[in-house]
Amino acid sequence: MSLQLKINTDLKEAMKAKQEPLLSTLRLLKADIQYELTKNGAQELNDEQIIVLIKRGYAKRTDAIQMYEKANRNDLADKEKSEAEILKSYLPPDVPEDQIIAAVEKFVVELGASGPKDIGKVMGKVMAEFKGANIDGSKVSAIVKSKLS
């Protein structure tokens, strides 16, 4: 089952069960998907494109959580946290840190990277290696910087 079909099915189920946080989050996600479909003139998005949309929505939620917590608006932060958890459930599992470290070490040797000037090259190779997987770019960046410093 494609991810787009799964989201549509879950949206219908959430409507029937009147699950409000899930329903509102899936409606926002469906609107993002519909916008991409209209923009591209496509009938359906592939799973990789939808994962990009979900990651974008997840990142927005995590940024909002930090801002709301700084402003002592825990009620809004909690709402954003629940939406972020719902979105995260549609993402593939995170890439384990040991796999990231192994890939970084492999590309450091392969590219002959020796210092901070090579961080971008190594980052590009590692991110390309895990394309389509759920990988945190900031975690990769930190690992690459620690290896090349």
Q: Distance between CA 111 and CA 2 in Å, rounded? A: 37
Residue with tokens 């909002």: 64
Identify the pLDDT of residue 138: 83
Q: pLDDT tier at 112 (50, 70, 90 boundaries)?
A: confident
Q: What is the pLDDT of residue 74?
A: 93
Q: What is the mean pLDDT of residues 102-117?
A: 86
**What is the rounded average pLDDT of the residues 72-95?**
92
State residue 58's pLDDT score: 92
| DSSP code for 30 | H
Count how many residues are written for the chain. Answer: 149
**Residues 117-126, mean pLDDT to the nearest whole number:** 87
Going by C-beta distance under 8 Å and a sequence separation of 6 or more, which residues neighbour residue 134?
A: 51, 55, 91, 92, 93, 94, 95
Q: Return the beta strands (E) in the chain as ranges.
A: none
Q: Are 104 and 141 in contact (CB under 8 A)?
A: no
Query: How many whole angstroms separate alpha carbon 119 and alpha carbon 141?
Result: 8
| Main-chain phi, psi angles of 94, to 5 degrees | -60, 145
Q: What is this structure's pTM? A: 0.76
Instruction: Provide the pLDDT confidence category of residue 47 given band limits of 50, 70 and 90.
Output: confident
